[in-house]
Amino acid sequence: MISELCVKALEHGIETEYVKSLINRRGLMAASPPLHIDNWPWRVKIYTLGRFSVVVDDTPVHLSAKGRKKPLWMLKALITLGGREVAEEKIAGALWPDAKGDTAHSAFTTTLSRLRRRCINFQ
């Protein structure tokens, strides 16, 4: 119930800073994700149309730091291939088409770990 009231408040621009802090403090989530609300305090935001960028806790993340572009490519492949329940084999096939078996799996897990470190565990 509180989360639905927060959705309505953000939709109508009512006490937005307070509402966002309430959502964060209580870890609230609406029954149906409020994807239409741009200022919902999502921890991770990924922008794909017009620009490609990742923002974690309101701070831009640079995924291709130090010449490592594979985490960025992995995220783009994941989104391109549907964004949910994408098989490891599909991503590995897109990013490492010549790698087979254990080599592809190893490259996949290493790159996924780097992506998670850059996005999910971003400090």
Q: How many domains does the chain fold into? A: 2
Query: Do 49 and 90 fall within a single domain?
Result: no
Distant-in-sequence, close-in-space partners of 47: CB < 8 Å, separation ≥ 6: 53, 54, 55
- Whole-prediction pTM: 0.71
- How far is the C-alpha of 74 from the C-alpha of 46, rounded, in Å? 13
Q: Are residues 78 and 105 in the same domain?
A: yes
Residues 55 and 76 in one domain: no
Count the helices and strands in the chain (H runs, E runs). 5, 3
**pLDDT tens digits for range 49-83:** 888 888 888 888 876 666 578 888 999 999 999 98
84-115 tens-digit pLDDT: 899 999 999 999 999 988 999 999 999 999 88
Average pLDDT, integer, range 37-46: 86
50-72 burial, b at 16+ Cβ within 10 Å, e below that, comes to: eeeebbbeeeebebeeeeeebbb
Cα 60 to Cα 44: distance, rounded to the nearest angstrom = 10
